[in-house]
Amino acid sequence: PQSSEKAKTFVHAFLKRSMPKMKDEAIQEMLTRKAVVLEHYHKKKTKQKRKKTKGFTAKQRRELRLFEIEPEQQRYAIFLPLHELWKQYIRDLCHGLKPDAQPHMIQTKLLKADLHGAIVTVTKSKCPSYVGITGIVLQEFKHVFKIITKEDKLKVVPKLNNVFSLELDGFISYIYGSKFLLRASERSAKKFKLKGTIDL
């Protein structure tokens, strides 16, 4: 323990060092009051707002041609492995597509499934030129399917007024495009209602 004189000297020196602009008389006056308030304020740290990374707008994506498939890549054979992956994905999703499986349960799962890689056929259409188009779905947008045919032709088929069919392990499912006007990501969260009759 230090003596009172040493303590007093230390406090005086400390105050002098902490508040160099104050005179000795003012420091002595503070000491006599037996309450010392050091005039030092912590600077408030300003939180830096994180900038949100903005993605491309639809216009920018079109200009950059992000979703366009190059002509040399438009070959049916290239996408056959994608179709094989899709078949395995559906089998896992539907627990094997067994013969005793209930069709409406499989249909419900297919409605929410990702169709990239599926082989689809246009079975009905208000525009006769679309009927019979068969190929692998390369891209699915809100209003159209982009399909590559066996003839290596990329077809853009609208969903509206078209009925599509897809077959897997003997199970055939029909997709009414007019009721399917959703993006793949939105469709997975949508609840589809059962309807008695559906028309084009």
In a domain, 42, yes or no: no
In a domain, 168, yes or no: yes
In a domain, 86, yes or no: yes
In a domain, 182, yes or no: yes
Segments forming the whole domain that contains residue 80:
74-189
**Domain at 131, CATH number:** 2.30.30.210
| Of 161, 162, 157, 159, nearest in space to 183 by CA | 159
pTM: 0.65
In a domain, 48, yes or no: no
Checking if the pLDDT of 12 tops 90, the result is: no
How many domains does the chain fold into?
1
In a domain, 171, yes or no: yes
In a domain, 130, yes or no: yes
Q: Write the pLDDT tens digit of every residue in 21-65.
A: 777 777 777 667 655 555 555 666 777 777 666 778 878 877 887
In a domain, 145, yes or no: yes
pLDDT tier, 196 (very low <50, low <70, confident <90, very high otherwise):
low
Mean pLDDT of all residues in the chain? 81
